[in-house]
Amino acid sequence: MVTAIPEKLRSNAALRDFFDKLNAGPVEAVHICPQLQELPRILKKRADYLRKLEKTCTVVDVIEHYHKLIQSYDHLVSKARSLSYPPTTVGFVTFADQKSASVIAQTLTHTQAYTCVTQIAPDPRDILWDNLYRTRREVLVRKAATELVIFILLCFWTYPVATLASWLGVDGLQKVFPYIQEWIDRNAITRGMIFKLLPSLFVLVFMAIVPIILEPLIRFQRKPSRSLVELAVLKKYFLFQLINVLLIFTVASTFFSSFYAIVEKPTDITTILGRQLPLFAPFFINYVTILGLGYLPLKLVQLGPMILLSIRRLYCSSPRDYAELLTPVNIDYGWAYPIPMLVFVIVLTYSVMAPLILVFGAAYFSIAYLFQKYNFLYVYFRRFETGGIFWPVVARRLVFGVFIFQLTMLGVLILNNAYVSGLLIAPLFVITVVAYRRIFRALEERSRFLPLELSELIVPKSPDECTNPEPIPTTDLDLLDDQYEAAPTSKTDYRESPMSRCPGILDASERTYSHPAMVGVLPKLWLPRTIVGVKNDSSIYATTDEKHEVQL
């Protein structure tokens, strides 16, 4: 992917000639992203009318009305696709081999700074095409506004967590609910639930709301690919959990539980804090247990998607609705990664102060391995590839968890006046930093670029597969690796893929770096078999002709 293309190179021919002169390798295809104006809106309106026609296909007057609308939009699409659009500063250059692309992505290609900046392009299915047309000023303004809102949200989120931490004790509950003391003393089961189960459950539910808020904020930044959105959500979500669950909750709980003891003997503050800090390990043991025995089984049975599916089924009326309803669940790494990352940091941090947490941590990761392996094999469906860009980010935060563990142990030893033992921990920081720099210098490079030794093993695609600007025929869509197999049912036969990426364009046609609005396959009219007149013949459907005009 090439960004900041100068004006004299903003054409396919000029950009191809520029890279040909660099002698890095044969160029197979060049695509300058156009500034589309009305075409995306036309495609979306056409798809909306097509859906309405499929839903109301039994009313003759409505059929004629939407039939004429769709035909008019077919002509508008053909006309809009034949127009020439002003180019943007973003383009995609496809080379004949991986080695040439890797070399170009790691070199300076232009004499002027910040011009023709190259990087390995994301998967075509990963690109958010509408977000490619953005100025540097727009990016900075949107990012600054988003970071400010997230910081305010982070500050707000600490208040309820700290408030809950102040309740973890009989004294704290008596201040808020004075009448609850006698009832708690009479019922041991209730006492155990209030002080052991409910706090962990409350924090878990409260933190589950965070990614729902974070994702729209990250999308506001208009990142160029879906994987970058997921990566940003992963970073922010993990930070939220680390600060609120581990840091704020631990500090607030320790402070509120020992406040009166510190007031009575201020000189013993280090000893008091050193003794109180390990006492809150049971909360985190319960937290890890709930995640392992409560959260993971829900992920296995897919309770949330099943509830949403049952509700959405009530509003399905066409084969397309049912096909989209039964689309496999897509795994979102921005939601999935932070929770096991937090469990790793929690278990490691309290592993010395409360060794019992290691048992529950091992049980959690064992259960997670079995359940998530099943989900990845039989449930989840990844709609694009990222090339492993998530792992360096995850590994870097896991090493940061090691720093937290070392710093916590140093603080606990010093608070308990074990200065010699604390001094012996200090070299571990230096060792961890050196290992961190050496490991991630190699890891990050290999996650971004393919080694030249491996690039020789890759068989390049034929020119027809890389440069053909024509839409992919629907008969060939089943051969693509991003299509899932599904047996036809009485409601649908899955003859077309969803339109989840580019409105009005079938997902299966997004296989090149041409804008899908310009070359993507349009959806055809898709009616139930009973409407056409033959109940059990799956080959008879109302369709469209080669120009995508509706034929009834």
The bridge status of strand 543-544 relative to strand 117-118 is unpaired
- Both tokens assigned to 512: 């090149």
Q: What distance in Å separates the CA atoms of residue 290 and residue 205, rounded to the nearest whole number?
A: 11
Angle CA(328)–CA(334)–CA(339) in degrees, nearest 5? Answer: 105
20, pLDDT greater than 50 = yes
N-terminal to C-terminal alpha carbon distance within the chain:
43
Query: Under a CB-based contact definition with an 8 Å cutoff, are residues 375 and 429 in contact?
Result: no
What single-letter DSSP state applies at residue 225?
Answer: B
Rounded mean pLDDT, 128-134: 85
Rounded mean pLDDT, 259-276: 59
Tell me, letter by letter, the H, E, C secondary structure of 294-347.
Answer: HHHHHHHHCHHHHHHHHHHHCCCCCHHHHHHHCCCECCCHHHHCHHHHHHHHHH
> What pLDDT is attached to residue 437?
86
Render pLDDT for 196-208 as a digit per residue (tens, 0 to 9): 677 778 888 888 8
Q: H or E element: which one contains 204?
A: helix 198-208
187, pLDDT greater than 70 = no
Render pLDDT for 197-253 as a digit per residue (tens, 0 to 9): 777 788 888 888 999 999 999 999 989 899 999 999 999 999 999 988 888 777 766
> What pLDDT is attached to residue 330?
84
> What pLDDT is attached to residue 139?
86
Render pLDDT for 378-407 as a digit per residue (tens, 0 to 9): 888 877 888 788 888 998 999 999 998 988
Render pLDDT for 482-519 as a digit per residue (tens, 0 to 9): 566 777 888 888 888 888 888 889 887 777 888 999 98
Provide the mean pLDDT of the chain.
80
Return phi, psi of residue 191, to 5°: -60, -45
3-state secondary structure of 464: helix
Q: What distance in Å separates the CA atoms of residue 17 and residue 27, rounded to the nearest whole number?
A: 9
- Both tokens assigned to 312: 């959405």
Q: With both helix axes pointing from N to C terminus, report the angle between 39-55 and 60-82 in degrees, rounded to the nearest 10.
A: 160
Domain regions of the chain by residue span: 2-120+462-551, 147-386
- Both tokens assigned to 271: 């000893």
Burial class (CB in 10 A: 0-12, 13-18, 19+), 252: buried
The bridge status of strand 550-551 relative to strand 543-544 is antiparallel
> What pLDDT is attached to residue 180?
60
Q: Which CA distances in Å does 350 have to 197, 198, 365, 449, 529?
A: 19, 21, 16, 37, 62
> What pLDDT is attached to residue 190?
60
Q: Please report the DSSP string for 361-375 in residue order.
A: HHHHHHHHHHHHHHH
Query: Under a CB-based contact definition with an 8 Å cutoff, are residues 402 and 439 in contact?
Result: no
Q: H or E element: which one contains 134?
A: none
Query: Under a CB-based contact definition with an 8 Å cutoff, are residues 549 and 74 in contact?
Result: yes
Angle CA(177)–CA(183)–CA(187) in degrees, nearest 5? Answer: 135
Q: What distance in Å separates the CA atoms of residue 31 and residue 490, rounded to the nearest whole number?
A: 42
Q: What distance in Å separates the CA atoms of residue 377 and residue 461, rounded to the nearest whole number?
A: 28
> What pLDDT is attached to residue 46?
92
- Both tokens assigned to 484: 């899932």
pLDDT band at 480 (very low <50, low <70, confident <90, very high): very low
Contacts of 252 (CB under 8 A, 6+ apart): 161, 162, 165, 166
pLDDT band at 107 (very low <50, low <70, confident <90, very high): confident
> What pLDDT is attached to residue 464?
52
Q: Which residue did the predictor score with more confidence, 533 or 190?
A: 190
Computed on alpha carbons and rounded to an integer, the radius of gyration of the chain in Å comes to 29
